[in-house]
Copies of this chain bind each other. A is one copy, B any other.
Amino acid sequence: MLEKVDLTKKLSKEEYKEKMPQLEAKLGRLQRECKSLGIPIMIVFEGFGASGKGIQIGRLIQSMDPRGFEVHPIKNETEEERMHPFMWRFWTKTPSKGRIAIFDGSWYRRVLIDRFEKRTKNKELADAFHSINSFEEQLAEDGTLIIKLLLDIDKKEQKKRFEKLEKNKETAWRVTQGDKERNVHYDEYAAMIEDMLFKTDTDYAPWTIIESMDKRFATLKIYTTVIKAMADQIEKVQKEKTEGTAGKTEGEMAEIAREADEEMKELQVSILSKADLSLHYTKEEYKEKLDKLQKKMEKLHGELYRRRIPVVLGFEGWDAGGKGGAIKRLTERMDARGYVVNPTASPNDIEKAHHYLWRFWRAMPKDGHVAIFDRTWYGRVMVERIEGFCTTEEWKRAYKEINDMEKDLSDAGAIVIKFWMHIDKDEQERRFKERQENPEKQWKITDEDWRNREKWDQYEDAVNEMLMRTSTDYAPWVVVEGNDKYYARIKVLRTVAEAIEARLKEE
């Protein structure tokens, strides 16, 4: 998840000044409503050192009635706390009905700082995650709203902030030896955060990543996240209360939630928009690279077979994005007995009578074999989501289900890579028209393609969310800049070859 975060997000002073007053008023309004409905709220601030947790908490509480919240700074345990079970100090700090508890650091230190500093032993980790999930699930089921924010900055920015703090006598004490260690071993710490996100990003207590390089942007996203979560919860509680009785006007909260949704979309990381679609190769460059890479793949494929390493490659992308061409070039010189290309069409009757992942599980490769999927299980969170072929709950929980499946594959030793073949709207139109005009390619273009094209923006939102939520260290997404077919094909080949080489080196 972290790898796909766009840390270049910024907000201008003007926009900030224009947007904040409204949000601040809303937050105050929502706090009063939560109080009157008796909804307890926990807001967790976690993230990298110097990512601005303290400052952001300060900004958040400015709009709150101070009689209604408490801030709990979670540092090293006191002696009293150390003499109790780890979760004790958090259980005792859970808010009562209608109150807000804000945690500056939290129970997650057990699987972050404490893990990094080896106070949490490896064999204790599974139990720690079990305790954390159980704690949050129990409270959520009891009606507590849990909002978890992960403040994200990059290694360089963190170092810069530490240095700035250290230069000033009054703030130098705030940078600990541990902070600096975690900066030096930034990647190792980030991997622990990634593991935490995998294990604790639940439907009852989801994480939101806050891009925190720019403080204004972070503030806006935090406000929006909190407002959205509170409005949703209020609506839910109101609905439960009025269930069965005549239609009460609950419009206000739904309206606030909708507005926050809109705002969130704007704040959302657009991974696709960052792709540089001007990347290209000349025909000569292409031919030379293609030849070299295909020869390499031929060798690597044999090596995979010899070492019994399975490979799973998923291809998704815009219609006419170049999936077919890339798969063709990838497999051209591979031994046909060692790979299978699975084209994914609409599910047939037997497939429909099973869980949507069943047909993909069946097609997973055995050790030493390569399975290539032309369209994949990600249909669940794209076409099925957008066309309403599954319910909102179904596609929302699919992210976790898919991550779990890919984790099972990876745990069994598989190399798993997913490609998004990316082109822009103009390029798609050009290709569509070309297909229509070329009798040999006409079969490739249908009315449905044109209809899907009309939903470009909806798909773009869905794809961005998908890339964000399902790009993991064990099964990464690779966005392939595809306006130039030569470039795209080479990138796919190179990515696969490099992943295999890296694995072979490990062994």
Contact = CB atoms under 8 A, between A and B. Distances in A.
A353 B404 CA distance: 37
Interface stretch (A83-91, A149-157, A291-299, A438-446): A83-91
Contact of A364 (B84, B308, B350): B84
B134 A83 contact: no
Contacts of A354: 40, 94, 96-97
Nearest to A87: B408
Contacts of A88: 361, 364
Contact of A358 (B92, B308, B355): B92
A258 to B, nearest CB: 25
Interface string A355-385: 1111001101011100000000000000000
Given A355-B142, A364-B85, A408-B87, A96 B401 contact: no
Given A355-B142, A358-B91, A397-B141, A412 B134 contact: no
Contacts of A404: 130-131, 134, 138
Interface string A336-348: 0000000000000
Contact of A131 (B83, B350, B408): B408
A122 B412 CA distance: 16
A38 B353 CA distance: 8
Interface string A121-140: 01111110111001000110
A489 B210 CA distance: 58
A92 B139 contact: no
A398 to B, nearest CB: 9
A414 interface: yes
Interface residues of A, number: 56
Nearest to A144: B355
A411 interface: yes
Contacts of A411: 85, 124, 127, 131
Contacts of A408: 85-87, 131
Interface in A13-64: 38, 40
A492 interface: no
Nearest to A128: B411
A80 to B, nearest CB: 7
A83 B369 CA distance: 10
Interface string A299-310: 000000000101
Interface in A381-401: 397, 400-401
Contacts of A130: 199, 404, 407
A143 to B, nearest CB: 9
Given A353-B97, A354-B96, A408-B131, A367 B83 contact: yes
Contacts of A131: 404, 407-408, 411
Contacts of A400: 134
Nearest to A365: B84
A409 interface: yes
Interface string A157-175: 0000000000000000000
Of all A-B residue pairs in the complex, the 4 with the closest CB atoms, nearest first, are A126-B126, A85-B412, A83-B366, A91-B361
Interface of A: 38, 40, 80, 83-88, 91-92, 94, 96-98, 122-127, 129-131, 134, 138-139, 141-142, 144, 199, 308, 310, 350, 353-358, 361-362, 364, 366-368, 397, 400-401, 404, 407-409, 411-412, 414
